[in-house]
Amino acid sequence: MISYSRGKGNLENWVVSEELFQPDSLGKSEAIMYLGNGYMGLRSAAEEPYMKEVRNLFANGTFNKAGENEVTELPNIADVTRLDIRIDGDRFSLEFGKTKEYIKQLNIKTAELMRSFVWTSPKGKVLQFEFKRFVSLDNLHLIGMKMFVKSLTDPVHISFDTGIDAQMSNSGAQHFLEGERRIFDKKDIQLIQTTRESKIDVVISSTHKVFVNDVESINEPEMNMARRKVWLTYNIKLEPNDRLEVEKLTTVYTSRDNDLDFTEYTTRHLREKSLSDLRNCAIKGYESNFQLHKEAWNNLIWSSYELEINSENPYDLLALRFSLYHLTIMAPAHDDRMGIAAKGLSGEGYKGHSFWDTEIFILPFFTFSNPAVAKSLLTYRYFCLEGARKKARENGFSGAMFPWESAWPPDGEVTPNLGDIDIVTGEPTKIWSGFIEQHISADIAFAIYQYFNVTADQEFMNHYGYEVIFDTANFWVSRLEWNEGKQAYHINNVIGPDEYKEHVNNNAFTNYMVFFNMKLAIRYYETLMKEKPSILKKLITKFDMNKAYSLWKAKVGKIYLPQPRAEDFVIPQDDTYLTLKEIDLTKYKNQKKLRTIYRDYNSEQINAIQVTKQADILLMLYLLNQTFISEAVPLSNAVKEANFYYYERKTLHDSSLSLSTHSILASEIGDTDLAYSLFRKATEVDLGPRMDTSDEGIHAASIGGIWKATVFGFAGVRVVDGKLRINPKLPKQWRHLKFKIHWQGQPITLVLSHTTFSIKVENKKKIEFELNNHIYECDDVLNIDFEYING
């Protein structure tokens, strides 16, 4: 039971609420309401424990391999949020007694979790509870928690255990070697542990303040320790209407942090840092720390992005804010050695690894809205080059073959080789994506191209960008397969974006993206040769630039680029797709659950049907449209429409990456109603009412897609070969849309309605843009009336 309309007044459309406690459906609110700040992510499990809870705390970048045969993953650090509460000696749980007025809320504006209810104990005592929690955006190391309890009817004895519990694991995989536990001054607790293989120290420190009727309690708690655990037990007697208030502040530090100011790292320094930071925070107190956090959210996020939607469905604005909230907390803006995980920092799913999801679905938001973060994320890919080269070598190729899944940069490919055992044959299933889902290298090249076009960040290109584009082109050169019969370069045995088709030849998406990647390399090489040959020279230590260039030139023109069928303009997704059996997919498209097709067909059978898991050809059309190779590609409206309707019918959207692309394409071809309906579905991947969608974590790419479908789809913003183009296609439900993007280093604010367009150029540097096929210039504010110009 998720509701969207509980925020009132200045919190309207800022609040996601769970209105019913369901002990069998805990994952939803734990994941979609998780707290974080890019440095760490804290899953929003309840304070009191439940059987089916998943209690996660992740610190970005702290990857570790749990065992020899396992791939590296983000360890579940420890729990600091659990409170074992006893009321008159009996365990408190919402599974007992009676609960009224239950509400659990994520306040997106203040990035605060709140939970409250009135609870009648099995013995008939009535208590009012409220819990609050935040993970500071002001001090990335800080977690704040607060509990209020009021006894409404009876004297009551409340006791609770609160501490640091490192008995946690990743579904049984323990990443940490046990370390020291300490209690300082009978109140500050600390736990140190070290990852087993990567040897990262993690120090967690917590401190408490307890108030009864606003008077700080001086009762000393009981001090307890067990293996991998340290905790305090408080015992409080409340008279009717007495008000208990407990504040807990926790700091998390790791030896991987890039903000440590010691000249030489030692664990002792880290523990002292952690403790001194904790004590400084404690002096300020919970409320002041929370104020600083709130201001950070306001200044860095909400004031900065200036997003507004006036929709007849207020949910839409909430969904966009939800998207921005999650994009903020998932991104390690503080450290360019870290990427964004497919589940953000909200769950164990996909082990904290980064996929192409970042570049194609998430990065565009940052490139347009917060280029510094985009730069950091692309710099991460630059640091991954070493692993990409290693992967290329190991697979018999040259250049940089980017890992399908990435973790800590030097790790290289971290996709597991084997998946779950096929429960019928008993054999482990091979995971092919780490070997043959190769388009990611071109996707990264595309993302750098897009970043450079939008930001004009030449320095990034000089240091990082060119090298990635050149060396991915080098990879493709070695990857192309000469087909003597066709006198063309083919790319065989790949998986394209549509993962329902494994081991295909000439996946159109892949071939076109490779073509683009190599063309881009050639183009940049030629420009640099003319304008900045020193940049090229520097790269000579990495590979032979001249030879590379001549190979790109020699091969790029002969890459096989599948063309639309004459009869219906449909571009074949791969060599065989259009020859496969067609079946009636209505049933699977209308079902509420994903992947229901597996109930009737197994993987092999699905491979032989014209059915697509997720956007593939359509994604290609969307991406290529933004490039300078659009002439080499059939991108007429007729082709777009033909392919959209052909493939949309075949696409089950069984991947969370799919809907937003289809929404954008639907906007592009003018089917705004369908675009809006697809957008709504995309927002519902996590935010929707289904209670089991997000158990393993939120869908970061889908969340990026919400913003994309809005700005690229409805606002029609596009950068095409370096030129800003805006073709708004506002859905009829939306009255106006306001957002801010960064264009060539300058923030510009756009306000759209069905009849008007306004642009404000913040730094008053003149820009040029195309709006509905008219070219405009602006160096301040420009208001345009569509009816006037079109009429």
Is 613 flagged in the annotation as binding? yes
> Per the structure block, which two tokens stand in for 85?
């509460």
The residue range among 242-250, 424-432, 503-511, 529-537 that interacts with a second copy, by the rule CB under 8 A, is: 424-432
Residue 166 binds a second copy, judged by CB under 8 A:
yes
> In angstroms, rounded to a whole number, what is the distance separating the alpha carbons of residues 628 and 418?
39
Q: CB 589 → a second copy: shortest distance, Å?
A: 25
Residue 157 binds a second copy, judged by CB under 8 A:
no
- Identify the residue among 118, 223, 292, 720 touching a second copy (CB under 8 A): 223
> In angstroms, rounded to a whole number, what is the distance separating the alpha carbons of residues 70 and 533?
44
Write out the catalytic residue numbers.
499
Is 357 flagged in the annotation as binding? yes
> Per the structure block, which two tokens stand in for 135?
């993970």
> Per the structure block, which two tokens stand in for 372?
């510094």
- Identify the residue among 8, 9, 10, 68 touching a second copy (CB under 8 A): 68
Q: CB 683 → a second copy: shortest distance, Å?
A: 29
Q: CB 103 → a second copy: shortest distance, Å?
A: 23
Residue with tokens 């059996």: 581
Tell me the residue type at 510: T
Q: Collapsing DSSP states into helix, strand and coil, what is residue 596?
A: helix
The residue range among 91-99, 432-440, 456-464, 469-477 that interacts with a second copy, by the rule CB under 8 A, is: 91-99
What element of type H or E holds 225? strand 222-226
Q: Which is nearer to a second copy, 12 or 95 (CB)?
A: 95
Residue 600 binds a second copy, judged by CB under 8 A:
no
Q: Which is nearer to a second copy, 23 or 155 (CB)?
A: 23
Residue with tokens 């040897």: 199
Residue 481 binds a second copy, judged by CB under 8 A:
no
Q: Contacts with a second copy: how many residues (CB under 8 A)?
A: 42
Residue 428 binds a second copy, judged by CB under 8 A:
yes
Q: CB 172 → a second copy: shortest distance, Å?
A: 3
Residue with tokens 């950091």: 376
- Identify the residue among 12, 101, 123, 184 touching a second copy (CB under 8 A): 184
Cα dist. 744→365, 708, 768 in Å? 15, 19, 11
Residue 343 binds a second copy, judged by CB under 8 A:
no
Q: What is the DSSP string of 305-346?
A: H--EEEESSTHHHHHHHHHHHHHHHH--TT-TT----TTTTS
Alpha helices in 596-671 (DSSP H): 603-606, 617-624, 637-650, 659-668
Residue 690 binds a second copy, judged by CB under 8 A:
no
> In angstroms, rounded to a whole number, what is the distance separating the alpha carbons of residues 333 and 345?
13
- Identify the residue among 133, 228, 375, 479 touching a second copy (CB under 8 A): 228
- Identify the residue among 6, 187, 196, 690 touching a second copy (CB under 8 A): 196
Looking at residue 572, what DSSP letter applies?
P
Residue 20 binds a second copy, judged by CB under 8 A:
no
Residue 441 binds a second copy, judged by CB under 8 A:
no
Q: CB 499 → a second copy: shortest distance, Å?
A: 20
Is the Cβ–Cβ distance between 653 and 662 less than 8 Å? yes
Handedness of CA 86, 88, 89, 91 (dihedral sign): negative
Looking at residue 348, what DSSP letter applies?
S
Q: Collapsing DSSP states into helix, strand and coil, what is residue 746?
A: strand
> In angstroms, rounded to a whole number, what is the distance separating the alpha carbons of residues 279 and 267?
18
- Identify the residue among 11, 183, 292, 431 touching a second copy (CB under 8 A): 183
- Identify the residue among 12, 20, 23, 394 touching a second copy (CB under 8 A): 23
Residue 226 binds a second copy, judged by CB under 8 A:
yes
Give the distance, in angstroms, between the CA of residue 490 and the centroid of all CA atoms in the same chain. Answer: 33
Q: Which residues bind a second copy (CB under 8 A)?
A: 23-24, 49, 51, 66-70, 91, 95-96, 166-174, 177-178, 180-184, 186, 196, 223, 225-229, 420-421, 423-424, 426, 428
Residues in binding site for substrate: 356-357, 613-614
Residues in binding site: 356-357, 613-614
